[in-house]
């Protein structure tokens, strides 16, 4: 037996077309269910959001910022429809003797089946109902009863004489239809004497169409499952085993046949089934390399019994023999990498089937770059491709070459419908957290059912055990997927009750904010894993931030206190939080950085600090150095392993849309002082940018993942620090490479440079100095006096070399320069210095004599003199030297004058 490997087949039978004519012209026209849905609901433009996602829009912002998908009304309402007396009083439906109110009519009709076929259990039949006003008076008409579903749009406040109106309705074939072998559509219509449901109404007799044929099943696949042990790993060509059970629910014998085009093979115990009988099938499938890369195989079995066929699909995890993740140090940005900004690569884009949104990015222990995001189904989804509640998926793509190429889309968390087939289950808003001490990767995301963060009235229900009921369909859950093999396979669990505890009584919903969390690299709470969240207070208008954390490598998760709504806010103002991120500063303090749609920081960002690892927050302020249109952003350390207190440890990178109103002008900003100021900013994209997130990659470049169409698509670019700022203030560099002195004059010539880290020991050498000069490494000055006796300027090429001890990054801290020293002749009348022999290569190496500091972060050296304001390059003499030259010149001219006077005396 060969079973075809295929997807779930779509219904191939045409729906019945019916036309039922009455005096007001009512008609049934069955259509394909998909066409019916399309007619009922207008689809949003590809680059617009399908629904207003609360966690993705500025809270309390005008609803036009993220346009919601709208259903196309059957007819614009000219005026509000008033409730008619007939609706309030059933007796009003009786025909009136008053001729002015007479709306009686006769009925006739016919049915045309456009394409013969039959419907199966669970399939949805779509119908179009047509209504024509054949009277000479405008009427109001509406369907008031039906055995169809979704007929609420079948009402028209004003139908002109001769005008035809249409609407759509549907029916899903159920067990009753199967038992009967058919389904007969029926509607009941009220016709009103006057428009907008005024005057007397008449309820017409139920209008029925011809019976639609429903197939009686003769075979059902009641089981299709993997027979291999859970956790089995595979290589290409290995055999995956499956078990299937078939059942004949009909009253007669039936022969079973199976599609023959698939890679699945096997045999069934009985090829013929009697009424009510079962049979089992042993199946196998040869695993492919593609299956292993995807992490799963989608296997479909189709069997036929007589004229009826049944199809069942199973998603089978296919675990490859991947290497486990290992502990690794966070990667640091490399300031020595050549300047580079790569072109935009669109990793995924929306289709007619789904939307794409919400980027997250990280680097795994093996150096792979992982990009995850939302795939939001349109058809079959509960929110038409929008945010929760919708049957959303968390998907992922992988790059093994630092973002140059990307592998296929894989699934972290798959949305769908619950066991009842009706309750949606969805996963949205991914965020990565990496444990560098183990290599484990966590992907936080929303797990929703019937509600969004404000949609459909979410709430946290507490059980008798005092814990949040995570199975309540109105609960917005924290879900976390865990991977111990660099993102190749994932296990999921809900952690809402653990995270919120009693705090759930204060809020109606929470969600983990998308992008990336972090891990503390210094005390206090070194090694703590951190993921930020936003929570709506009860009432849905105030939003606070919350830190989720783990101190046991993700075994358990907890949360700190909510941020304050008023602490430190400008007088009369308040804070309105939303998606927020956290970063560790150079001294172990945490910095919170939050999007804000309104309140005291609107147009900028809210920042606050925590000295206890995110348990509490203080020092709230508006970061006026950052312009932001209330958009999700990302803040990270450029050098996460830099020793606390060093120059590099204070460098932060911030990605956002630098525009007070629009989500455009994607910009990277840089801070040298733990986010106090942002002196460097460079735009990487002028057009739409949307949400942004970043990661430091294994090659020292920075990857950025964002939404290049604002509300859709996920795109990747890569840049280096030298693209952002060619001359980083943290990196050692000489700012002047030439100087000039006068022969025979005492000099003090300072070598000007940047990036000399006061917290680090250094070694400086100067070679090629002329006789009489020496170099003082402590003060970075050339001192002494030459005695060359030169009559012309003499040039000495020097080599200056600077190096510092490692600052924890492993990236060399060194600078080397060819320095030109010019010795000018002495123009004074004093005794000309006797030329002295200059030995080639005369110079010295002078290690900095900085003693060690007593520090709990290791030996850092004594703080060096401040070199931030060096003497101007080429300063060849001090004040005393200049005065000496002037005195000699004046003395010379005085002697000349005396000689002249003696001649004429």
Give me the active site residues, please.
Answer: 387, 579, 691
Residue with tokens 């087949």: 9
User: Which tokens go with 646?
Assistant: 């060093």
Q: Which DSSP string do the residues of 130-151 spell out, in sequence order?
A: EEE--SSS-EEEEEEEESSBS-
Structure-block tokens of residue 899: 């000689």
**570: Cβ contacts below 8 Å, ≥ 6 apart:** 600, 622
Q: Which two tokens stand for residue 514?
A: 């998308």
DSSP code of residue 728: -
Of all helices (H) and strands (E), which one includes residue 898?
A: helix 879-904
Q: How far apart are the first and last CA of the chain?
A: 137
> How far is it, in rounded angstroms, from Cα 31 to Cα 111?
13
Strand 634-637 versus strand 652-657 pairing type = antiparallel
Alpha-helical segments (H) within 480-564: 496-500
* Whether 134 contacts 106, CB under 8 Å: no
Strand stretches in 435-524, DSSP E = 441-448, 477-483, 491-494, 507-512, 515-516, 518-519
Question: Residue 456: is the preceding peptide bond cis (ω within 30°)?
Answer: no
- Smallest CA-to-CA distance from 221 within 246, 242, 202 is with 246
Cα–Cα dist 631/692, whole Å: 9
* C-alpha span between 582 and 591 (Å, rounded): 6
The continuous run of DSSP H or E covering 748 comes out as strand 747-750
**Residue 117: Cβ-neighbour burial (10 angstroms; 0-12, 13-18, 19+):** middle
Give one DSSP letter per residue of 550-569, joined into a string.
ESSTTSS-EE-PPPPSSTTP
Quick one: which of 373, 372, 368, 296 has its CA closest to 325?
368
Cα-based distances in Å from 896 to 887, 891, 900, 901: 14, 9, 6, 9
Integer Cα distance of 391 and 381 in angstroms: 5
| DSSP conformational letter for 341 | B
**What per-residue string of b and e applies to 865-891 under the rule 16 or more CB within 10 Å gives b?**
eebeebeebebbbeeebeebbeeeeee
CA nearest to 644, candidates 786, 446, 857: 857
Listed residue (281, 283, 288) closest to 238, CA to CA = 288
Q: At which residue do the structure tokens 């009988």 appear? A: 277
Indicate the burial class of 276 (C-beta count within 10 angstroms; 0-12, 13-18, 19 or more).
exposed
- Count of beta carbons in the 10 Å neighbourhood of residue 224: 21
CA dist list (Å): 493 to 413, 437, 444, 755: 11, 22, 10, 47
β-partners of residue 327 are none
Structure tokens at 220: 């059902």
DSSP 599: B
Report residue 648 as tokens: 């590099």
- The set of long-range contacts for 685-690, using a CB threshold of 8 Å and a minimum separation of 24, is 685/344, 685/717, 688/663, 688/664, 689/657, 689/663, 689/664, 689/665, 690/357, 690/631, 690/657, 690/663
**In a 3-state reduction of DSSP, which class is residue 702?**
strand
Q: Is the peptide bond before 389 cis (omega within 30 degrees of 0)?
A: yes
């Amino acid at each position: 037996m060969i079973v075809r490997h295929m997807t779930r087949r779509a219904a191939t039978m045409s729906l019945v077309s019916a036309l039922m004519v009455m005096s007001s012209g009512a008609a049934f026209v069955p259509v394909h269910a998909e066409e019916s849905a399309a007619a009922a609901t207008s689809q949003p433009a590809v680059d617009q959001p399908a629904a207003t996602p609360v966690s993705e829009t500025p809270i309390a912002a005008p609803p036009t910022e993220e346009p919601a998908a709208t259903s196309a009304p059957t007819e614009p309402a000219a005026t509000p429809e008033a409730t008619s007396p007939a609706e309030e009083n059933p007796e009003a439906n009786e025909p009136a003797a008053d001729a002015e109110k007479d709306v009686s009519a006769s009925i006739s009709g016919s049915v045309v089946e456009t394409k013969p076929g039959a419907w199966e259990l669970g399939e949805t039949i779509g119908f179009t109902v047509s209504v024509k006003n054949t009277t000479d008076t405008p009427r109001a008409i509406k369907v008031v009863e039906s055995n169809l579903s979704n007929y609420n749009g079948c009402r028209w406040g004003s139908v002109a004489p001769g005008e035809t109106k249409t609407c759509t309705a549907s029916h899903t074939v159920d067990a009753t239809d199967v038992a009967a072998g058919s389904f007969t559509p029926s509607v009941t219509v009220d016709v009103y004497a006057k428009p907008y449901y005024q005057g007397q109404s008449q309820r017409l007799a139920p209008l029925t169409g011809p019976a639609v044929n429903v197939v009686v099943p003769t075979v059902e696949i009641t089981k299709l499952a993997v027979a291999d042990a859970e956790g089995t790993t595979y290589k290409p060509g290995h055999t995956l085993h499956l078990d299937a059970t078939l059942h004949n629910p009909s009253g007669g014998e039936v022969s079973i046949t199976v599609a023959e085009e698939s890679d699945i093979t096997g045999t069934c115990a009985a090829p013929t089934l009697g009424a009510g009988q079962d049979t089992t099938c042993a199946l196998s499938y040869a695993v492919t390399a593609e299956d292993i890369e995807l992490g799963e195989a989608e296997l479909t079995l189709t069997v036929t019994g007589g004229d009826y066929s049944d199809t069942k699909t199973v998603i089978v995890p296919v675990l490859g023999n991947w290497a486990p993740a290992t502990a690794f140090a966070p990667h640091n940005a490399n300031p020595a990498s050549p300047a580079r900004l790569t072109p935009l690569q669109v990793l995924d884009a929306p289709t007619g089937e789904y939307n794409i949104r919400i980027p997250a990015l990280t680097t795994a222990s093996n150096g792979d770059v992982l990009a995850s995001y939302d795939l939001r189904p349109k058809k079959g989804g509960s929110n038409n491709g929008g945010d929760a509640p919708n049957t959303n998926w968390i998907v992922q793509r992988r790059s093994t070459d630092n973002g140059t190429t990307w592998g296929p889309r894989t699934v972290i968390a798959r949305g769908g419908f619950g066991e009842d087939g009706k309750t949606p289950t969805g996963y949205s808003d991914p965020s990565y957290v990496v444990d560098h001490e183990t290599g484990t990767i966590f992907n936080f995301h929303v797990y929703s059912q019937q509600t969004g963060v404000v949609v459909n009235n979410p709430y946290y229900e507490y059980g008798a055990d005092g814990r949040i009921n995570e199975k309540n369909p109105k609960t917005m859950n924290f879900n976390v997927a865990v991977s111990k093999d660099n993102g190749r396979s994932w296990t999921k669990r809900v952690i809402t009750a653990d995270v919120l505890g009693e705090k759930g009584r204060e809020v109606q919903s929470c969600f983990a904010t998308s992008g990336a969390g972090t891990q503390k690299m210094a005390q206090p709470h070194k090694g703590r894993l951190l993921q930020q969240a936003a929570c709506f207070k009860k009432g849905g208008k105030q939003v606070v931030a919350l830190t989720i954390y783990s101190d046991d490598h993700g075994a358990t998760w907890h949360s700190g206190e909510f941020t304050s709504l008023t602490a430190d806010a400008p007088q009369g103002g308040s804070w309105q939080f939303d998606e927020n991120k956290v970063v560790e500063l150079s001294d172990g303090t945490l910095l919170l950085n939050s999007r804000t749609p309104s309140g005291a920081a609107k147009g900028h960002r809210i920042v606050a600090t925590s000295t206890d690892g995110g348990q509490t927050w203080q020092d709230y302020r508006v970061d006026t150095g950052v312009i932001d249109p209330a958009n999700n952003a990302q803040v990270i350390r450029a050098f996460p392993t830099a020793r606390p207190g060093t120059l590099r440890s204070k460098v932060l990178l911030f990605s956002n849309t630098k525009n007070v109103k629009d989500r455009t002008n994607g910009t990277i900003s840089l801070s040298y002082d733990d986010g106090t100021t942002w002196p460097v900013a460079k735009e990487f994209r002028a057009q739409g940018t949307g949400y942004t997130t970043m990661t430091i990659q294994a090659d020292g470049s920075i990857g950025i993942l964002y939404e290049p169409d604002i509300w859709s698509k996920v795109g990747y670019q890569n840049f280096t620090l030298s693209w952002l700022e060619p001359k980083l203030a943290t990196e050692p560099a000489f700012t002047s490479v030439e100087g000039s002195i006068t022969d025979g004059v005492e000099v003090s010539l300072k070598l000007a440079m940047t990036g000399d880290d006061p917290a680090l020991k250094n070694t400086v050498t100067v070679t090629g100095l002329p006789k009489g000069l020496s170099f003082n490494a402590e003060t970075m000055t050339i001192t002494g006096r030459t005695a060359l006796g030169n009559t012309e300027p003499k040039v000495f090429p020097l080599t200056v070399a600077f190096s510092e001890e490692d600052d924890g990054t492993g990236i060399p801290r060194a600078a080397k320069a060819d320095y030109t020293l010019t010795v000018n002749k002495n123009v004074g009348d004093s005794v000309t210095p006797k030329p002295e022999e200059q030995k080639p290569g005369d110079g010295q190496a002078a290690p900095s004599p900085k003693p060690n500091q007593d520090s709990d972060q290791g030996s850092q050296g004594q703080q060096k003199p401040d070199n931030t304001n060096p003497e101007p390059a080429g300063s060849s003499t001090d004040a005393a030297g200049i005065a000496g030259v002037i005195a000699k010149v004046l003395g010379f001219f005085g002697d000349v004058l005396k000689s002249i006077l003696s001649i004429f005396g």
